[in-house]
Amino acid sequence: MGFFEKLKNGLKNTKDALSGKIQSVINSFTKIDEDFFEELEETLILSDIGAVTSANICESLRKEVKRTGATDPNEVKGLLKNIIAEILEGDNTLNLDTKPTVILVIGVNGAGKTTTIGKLSHNLKASGKKVVVAAADPFRAAAIEQLQVWTDRAGVDIIKHAEGADPAAVVFDALQAGKARNADVIICDTAGRLHNKKNLMDELKKIARIIDNNLPDSRVETLLVLDATTGQNAVNQARLFKETAEITGIVLTKLDGTAKGGIIIPIKEELDIPVKLVGVGEKIDDLQDFIPADYVEALFAE
C-alpha cells in the first residue's frame, strides 16, 4: 500500500466526521448567506478545528466567496480545500542537514514517544542513515526495555544506563558515541513530562545545553509527540510546551484511530508549529512524512 493510500485510510474517521459534516451543511442550504456561515463555523468547531481557527477559516471563506462571486453552497468545498491547504503551507520537512543531526523527542507519557522513535529509526536506517538512540527516560518503568525492543527491530544502536540514571548523562554518552561511530542522526528519548513539572522542564533545558556544548554546529530538531485521539487537549499541550521548549515540529500519532485528525489545522494556524510526521498504523513502517497537499486531498476525497 502506498503512502497516500495509508494516509487516506488513516484519515477515514476524520474525513467522515469533518468532510461528511461539511457536506451535510452544504446540502442543507440553497444559497451562501450568514446562516450558512454560522452553521459551517459551528460544524468546524465541533470537528475539533477549534473556535479561533474555525472563525479564521470562515472569515477567509467570506472573502473568497466575495472575490469569486460564488453563490452555490456546492462551490464552498473547493474554496475550503484551498484555504486549509494555505494554512498548512510551510516547512514540514524533517531537517537533517548536519552530520550528526540531533532529534530531541518530547511529550507526555502515553502519546507514543517510544513507538515514534522506533519507527523513525527504522525509516532513517532504510534511507541509508546511521542512527544512534539515547534512552534518556530512565524514570518510567520499563521505558528502557521498550525502547530496546524497538531499536532491535529497527536495527540501530542504543545508548542506555541503569534505571534511575541521570538523563543528561545518558544524552552526553549518546552524543559521544554518535560522534565516534560517525552517526548521521542521534535521537534522544526524554522523560514524559507535563509543562507544569518544573524539575522535568529544567532537566530538558539541561539536555539542550549539553547538546549545544558538545555539538554546537549540529541541527537540533525538537519534536513534540501528540496523541491525535485527545483532540483539542493535544492543541493545548502544544501551546503549553511551546512556552518552555523550542519546538521545531509535531509528530501526530494514532491518526488512524480517531475522528479528530483535524487538529493538525489549529496546531499550524494558532501556534505556527509545522506537523512533520504522522502515525497512521501500528506497523514499524506506519510513520510517514506529513505532506499538507496529501492531507487535504485525503480529507476531502470523494
Counting beta carbons within 10 angstroms of the beta carbon of residue 66, is it exposed (0 to 12), middle (13 to 18) or buried (19 or more)?
A: exposed
- pLDDT tens readout for residues 153-169: 999 999 999 888 889 99
In this predicted structure, what is the pLDDT of residue 130? 97
In this predicted structure, what is the pLDDT of residue 262? 87
Q: Closest Cα to residue 168, out of 216, 209, 222?
A: 209
**Residue 300 CB contacts under 8 Å (≥ 6 apart), including other chains:** 15, 19, 77, 80, 81
Q: How confident is the model at residue 196 (pLDDT cuts 50, 70, 90)?
A: low
189 DSSP β-pair partners = 105, 135
Tell me the mean pLDDT in the region 81-88.
Answer: 92
Q: Closest Cα to residue 105, out of 44, 174, 49, 39?
A: 174
For the chain, percent of residues with pLDDT exceeding 70: 96
Place of cell 505556527: 272
Tell me the mean pLDDT in the region 46-68.
Answer: 92
In this predicted structure, what is the pLDDT of residue 298? 84
In this predicted structure, what is the pLDDT of residue 90? 83
